[in-house]
A and B are shown apart, each in its own frame.
Chain A
Amino acid sequence: GENVEQHPSTLSVQEGDSAVIKCTYSDSASNYFPWYKQELGKRPQLIIDIRSNVGEKKDQRIAVTLNKTAKHFSLHITETQPEDSAVYFCAASNTGFQKLVFGTGTRLLVSP
């Protein structure tokens, strides 16, 4: 089955810096890669997703890149702000396998 590894487990940056979170997946048939943000005490919420027919997707300060050959995808946050502090989860799924598997999460702390 699919296995998703996420690194780092914790990431501390200064406000205004960029942050990068990386995930690798094991199943080459996986074709959907969402990212969720979970603020303290809240539910996870989708912030961006990418499908296997696209290499990069951007939404304001957030971008996701996908390298299908290497089976890894990354979340990039530019000009970080204190409100970006949260736990971020990557995930991978494929229609045939009918499973969505999450990484173990990255706690991002943005210091003013």
Chain B
Amino acid sequence: EAQVTQNPRYLITVTGKKLTVTCSQNMNHEYMSWYRQDPGLGLRQIYYSMNVEVTDKGDVPEGYKVSRKEKRNFPLILESPSPNQTSLYFCASSRGINSPLHFGNGTRLTVT
């Protein structure tokens, strides 16, 4: 089954404790992206990747890191999480920027 898999689904952590949210797709998609969803603000792009070893900042990249060492994986790293990073996070992939996005099931992160 074609899918984007995110883990974990729920995560509660404390300020400053490094964490990684994993994202993997099995559709051989070149384009992958991370979004955060907050009430009233819609989906805001954090980082995206057009291909292996190619990443770029989205609209809200501060406090986040990503890597694209393999085509299928695109982990999101929070080196020192802060409470303002409490949000619902979605990973997504597609064949290209002008192709339909396939979203993962989301990760609800709470930073206390």
* A residues whose Cβ falls under 8 Å from a Cβ of B: 6, 9, 31-32, 34, 36, 42-46, 49, 51, 89, 93-95, 98-105
| Interface positions of B (Cβ within 8 A of A) | 33, 35, 40-45, 48, 50, 56, 58-59, 90, 96-98, 100-101, 103-106
How many Cβ-Cβ contacts under 8 Å join chain A to chain B?
57
Chain A residues with CB under 8 Å of B98's CB are: 31-32, 51, 93-95
9 contacts between A and B (CB under 8 A): A32-B98, A44-B90, A93-B97, A100-B101, A101-B59, A102-B35, A104-B40, A104-B41, A105-B42
Chain B contacts of A95 at CB under 8 A? 96-98
Q: Are B97 and A46 in contact (CB under 8 A)?
A: no
Given known pairs A95-B98, A100-B97, the reply for A43 and B90 (CB within 8 Å) is yes
User: Please, which residues of chain A bring their CB within 8 A of the CB of B59?
Assistant: 101
Given A98-B50, A102-B43, A104-B42: A43 touches B103 (CB 8 Å cut-off): yes
Contacts of B33 in A (CB 8 A): 100
